[in-house]
Amino acid sequence: MLVVTTETIPGKKYEVIGTAFGVTTQSRNIASDFGAGLKSIVGGEIKGYTKMLNNSRHEAIERLKKEAADMGADAVVMMRFDSGSISADMQSVAAYGTSVKFID
């Protein structure tokens, strides 16, 4: 499944099927929270959180691809991410875009 952030795919014609989403919510673990507390004192990247967000983005894209495939799509154009905190220890990431079907 091709996923692009652009509005068009060079050399391809397609029809729009609809909007597809992939969403995941992850919680931070106690070790990450402890490490984050220490990092807030000395500064620097909080690698546990970075890893969690990176994993969340990949999971959201995989779910987006599955939903688009279930809709009969060949690709997703204009893919975007949205994220936000649900509570003090949970982060939600959504990948969304327009599912399209290639035509000749």
| Domain covering 2-103 in this structure, CATH number | 3.30.110.70
Supply the DSSP string of 57-79, one letter for each residue: HHHHHHHHHHHHHHTT-SEEEEE
Flag whether pLDDT at 45 surpasses 60: yes
Flag whether pLDDT at 96 surpasses 90: yes
Mean pLDDT calculated for residue range 4-13: 96
Q: Which tens digits make up the pLDDT trace of 18-41?
A: 999 999 998 866 555 555 555 556
C-alpha 59: how far from chain center: 7
Predicted structure pTM score: 0.81
Q: State the pLDDT at residue 46.
A: 74
Question: What are the backbone angles phi and psi of residue 56, rounded to the nearest 5°?
Answer: -65, -40
- Separation CA 104–CA 94 (nearest Å): 31
Q: State the pLDDT at residue 50.
A: 83
Indicate the average pLDDT of the chain: 87
